Each structure stands twice: as C-alpha cells, then as structure tokens.
Amino acid sequence: MTLPADPQRDVAQELGAIDFTALFAAQVHDLKNLLFLVLNTLDETVSECSRGADTGKEAEGRLALLKYNGQLINDKLIQMLSLYRFNRGPYPVDIAYRPVADLIEEIVAEAKPLLAAKSITISGSVEPGLCWFFDRNLVAGAVNNAIHNALDCAGSQIRLGATIEDGYLALRVEDDGPGFPQEVLANGGSAESLNMSGNKTGLGLYFSSVCARLHTNGEKSGRIALGNGGGLGGAVFTLFLP
C-alpha cells in the first residue's frame, strides 16, 4: 500500500527556490499603492461629509471603490501569506466532496459588492448537481484572483462556468476585455514569470497555479490555463482540478 507521489513536496521545492524577500518587497510596493488609493478615497469622503454636501450617489460610488480596493488588499495579503505557508509546509489541503454550484454561488456573492465600483455584471452557470473533490479555500483563492484580474480589464461582463472536461473539473472565468497580453499568455503562472522589479509581480497567477497543483488525484494534478477569446472574446482563465 503506497500513497500517491507527494505533490506538496514538488511545489515546496519550487517555492524553496523563490526569493521571497524580493518578491514580497515588490508586492508590498503594490499594496502601498493600493493603500494610497484607499486613503485618497477616504480623504475625499471625509471632506465631502464635513462639508455636509448631499452626496448620496457619489458617496455610494466612493464607498464601493473603497470596498473594492480594500478587498483587493485583503486578497493580495492572503496570497502572500498563503505562499509563505505553502513554502514553510506542510499545508493541510482540505479536500472534500462538495457541490460546485455552492462554490460558484459563494464566489459570485463575494464579488457582487465589488461590481458596484465598476459597471460590470457577473454571472455563473453550473450543471445542476455537479459535485467534485476540492479544497474550497484554495479554489476560491484562485478563482477570486481571476475575477480581480477580470474586473480590472472587463468591458461590461464577467462569466463564471464549471464543466467536466477529460476527467477534470474546469472552472472558467471569462471577460469581454482586451484579453491577456502575449507575455502573460506564454508564461503566466510559472515561477519564472515572477517579476521582482516591475509593478506587476505576477504573484496572483503564480498563487493560482500553486493552488491548482496542490490538488492531486492519483497521478494527475491540477493546473491553470490562460487563453484569449472564449464566449465573451476577452481573457479566459481556466482552473483544471483532477
């Protein structure tokens, strides 16, 4: 009786080779910029309030933006913490048999308050009764990251879908934006693509890829795929889970 090969060990090896100090420094820079936006919006809101102006509609928009950026900071911090923890290992992957619809419902519910900041709609579709083995937090983390990317780029629509393809659960996030740039399509999500000097670290996609790979079933393990086109003509992020 033997257990399947240890996927966490492979991931851990790869993580071990990453210069986390440099990566996190770059990421902190990114976070600081986001925080600057948040503080700016707060300042505006405070001064509007003290002027006692009737700001119903505008305040609502600003609060939505605050919520959006706050959530973004939270999610990015969680990605950093998670990668740090995966690296320290062993990370308890909580694989359970769950309805995929529940997961999508939850992700859409979490995303809804963010949509108010942009005029974008989100919709999800799952085959009724579809269940799969997965770790809810890892999958939600990866999909939320894709939604954040989509919110940044989409024109007006984001679509979430779940299907079974070749014995994998395929969770897809599509948008109607300009699509992934060429270098991301080629390399996004790999350890090599991590960029410690520019303002786009690539940490989110790398985090998603690690979340995918922590899912294994026998010989098979999870992965992410990036493409352009799809039903909405924009970016297509797919998380494949064995």
Residues contributing to the site for other proteins (CB under 8 A): 1, 3-4, 6, 74, 78, 81, 85, 90-92, 94-99, 101-102, 105-106, 109-110, 112-113, 129, 131, 133, 137, 216-218
Q: Which is nearer to other proteins, 52 or 92 (CB)?
A: 92
Nearest distance from C-beta of residue 221 to other proteins, angstroms: 12
Nearest distance from C-beta of residue 142 to other proteins, angstroms: 15
Q: Which is nearer to other proteins, 43 or 102 (CB)?
A: 102
Q: Which is nearer to other proteins, 43 or 60 (CB)?
A: 60
Q: Which is nearer to other proteins, 53 or 96 (CB)?
A: 96
Nearest distance from C-beta of residue 145 to other proteins, angstroms: 16
Q: Which is nearer to other proteins, 20 or 91 (CB)?
A: 91
Range 136-140 contact pairs with CB under 8 angstroms and sequence separation of 24 or more: 136/94, 136/96, 136/98, 136/103, 137/94, 138/93, 138/211, 138/214, 138/215, 139/103, 139/171, 139/211, 139/215, 139/239, 139/241, 140/103, 140/106, 140/107, 140/110
Q: Which is nearer to other proteins, 20 or 195 (CB)?
A: 20
Residue labelled with tokens 């999500």: 189
Helix (H, G, I), strand (E, B) or coil at 160: strand
Nearest distance from C-beta of residue 25 to other proteins, angstroms: 21
Do β-strands 157-165 and 121-126 pair in parallel, antiparallel, or remain unpaired?
Answer: parallel
Helix (H, G, I), strand (E, B) or coil at 50: helix
Please report the beta strands in 131-219, taking only residues with DSSP state E, as ranges in sequence order. 131-135, 157-165, 168-175, 216-217
Residue labelled with tokens 């083995």: 133
Residue 118 tokens, joined: 């942009």
